[in-house]
Amino acid sequence: MVPKELLPLLDRPAIHYIVEECSRSGIEEVILVISRGKEAVGDYFKPSPALEAALERKGDLERLRQLQEISGLVTITTVLQKDQRGTGDAVLAAEAVVAGEPFLMIYPDDVMVAEPPVAAQVIEVFRERDAPITAVERVPDSEVKNYGIADGEMIADRLLRVERMVEKPDPSEVKSRLAVFGRYVLTPDIFDAIRRTPAGALGEVQLTDAFALLASERPAYAYEFEARRYDTGRPMTMLKAAIDVALSRDDTRDEMLDYLRQLKP
């Protein structure tokens, strides 16, 4: 079975766009936390001299350029999460590599089309506030029960001071309609917070719970990002994302526009 992170979005796997977002946001080193059976995700970014040589001999310079671009985006370090015990545990697996520095954390489920990238948006707010921050998107009342919600006080345009994080609440239980999506900038004290966070019913430790614990002890924020977000776990949104990505790229925009114009209502 192909890991969902390697499912194609236009002509590249979804994880490519995540790493590309990091690169465009000034990130130079990416740590991929993978579970057993997903080693191919890390292999995708490794240089392949034999394949590069074969493409050069064939004169397939465009594919050669694309292959070299993959390995040249950022420095990739792969960390194995031995047991899948929640998102908090996945972050904890990277503690030694992070080495006491603030870091950007991204879930691979959501591809976001934005300029500047969403990662760059939250990094900028982190620099202003010097405190942990999570990216959020406003959702309608009918969707509140499907997400973790950041609740608290709006202190500036698009910026919430987090007082608590509530997982899949009834709309009556929270003031906010800001759902948490997978872009965080975290400080090293998140690791201690994860260790102090009780596991849930399935024995999993969730990052949202650890972030909420941290927010109860020090300032932490939620930023309402500006982007078009696509959940790569849903076939229809993957199709919409492919169209959006095609329209955003110089090499595919004209062909996609021509195709869309030909469609009958």
If we measure between CA atoms, which residue out of 140, 148, 169, 144 comes closest to residue 222?
Answer: 148
Residue 56 pLDDT more than 90?
no
Q: Using DSSP bridges, classify how beta strands 148-156 and 178-186 pair: parallel, antiparallel or unpaired.
A: antiparallel
- pLDDT, one tens digit per residue, over 219-264 is 999 999 999 998 887 888 889 989 998 998 888 999 999 999 998 7
Q: Which long-range contacts (CB under 8 A, 24 or more apart) does 210-217 make?
A: 210/88, 210/91, 211/132, 211/134, 211/162, 211/165, 211/184, 211/186, 212/162, 212/164, 212/165, 214/132, 214/189, 214/190, 215/132, 215/152, 215/162, 215/163, 215/164, 215/165, 216/163, 216/164, 217/193
**Residue 154: what pLDDT?**
96
Give one DSSP letter per residue of 59-80, joined into a string. Answer: T-HHHHHHHHHHHHSSEEEEEE
* 12-249+256-262, CATH topology level: Spore Coat Polysaccharide Biosynthesis Protein SpsA; Chain A (3.90.550)
- Tell me the pLDDT band of 1, cut-offs 50, 70 and 90: low
Q: Which long-range contacts (CB under 8 A, 24 or more apart) does 230-238 make?
A: 230/110, 230/111, 230/112, 230/113, 231/109, 231/110, 232/4, 232/7, 232/9, 232/14, 232/108, 232/109, 232/110, 232/111, 233/4, 233/109, 238/7, 238/9
- Tell me the pLDDT band of 45, cut-offs 50, 70 and 90: confident
**Residue 85: what pLDDT?**
87
Averaged confidence pLDDT in the chain: 90
- pLDDT, one tens digit per residue, over 181-198 is 989 999 999 999 999 999
The DSSP secondary-structure symbol of 164 reads E
**Residue 142: what pLDDT?**
95
- pLDDT, one tens digit per residue, over 113-172 is 899 999 999 999 999 999 999 999 999 999 999 999 999 999 999 999 999 999 899 999
Query: In terms of C-beta density within 10 A (0-12 exposed, 13-18 middle, 19 or more buried), how is residue 2 classed?
Result: exposed
Before 117, cis peptide (omega within 30)? no
Q: Is the dihedral of CA 121, 125, 128, 132 positive or negative?
A: negative
Distance CA 45, CA 148 (A): 31
Q: How confident is the model over 83-87, as a mean pLDDT? A: 86
**Residue 175: what pLDDT?**
93
Residues 6+ apart with CB under 8 A from 260: 243
Task: Give the residue extent of every domain in the chain.
Answer: 12-249+256-262
Spell 128-150 as b/e; 16+ CB within 10 A means b: ebebbbbbbbebeeeebeebbbb
Query: In terms of C-beta density within 10 A (0-12 exposed, 13-18 middle, 19 or more buried), how is residue 160 classed?
Result: buried
- Tell me the pLDDT band of 53, cut-offs 50, 70 and 90: confident
Please state the pTM of the whole predicted model.
0.88
Q: Is the dihedral of CA 112, 117, 120, 125 positive or negative?
A: negative
Percent of residues, the chain, with pLDDT higher than 70: 99
Q: How confident is the model over 44-66, as a mean pLDDT? A: 80
Distance CA 167, CA 75 (A): 34
**Residue 167: what pLDDT?**
86
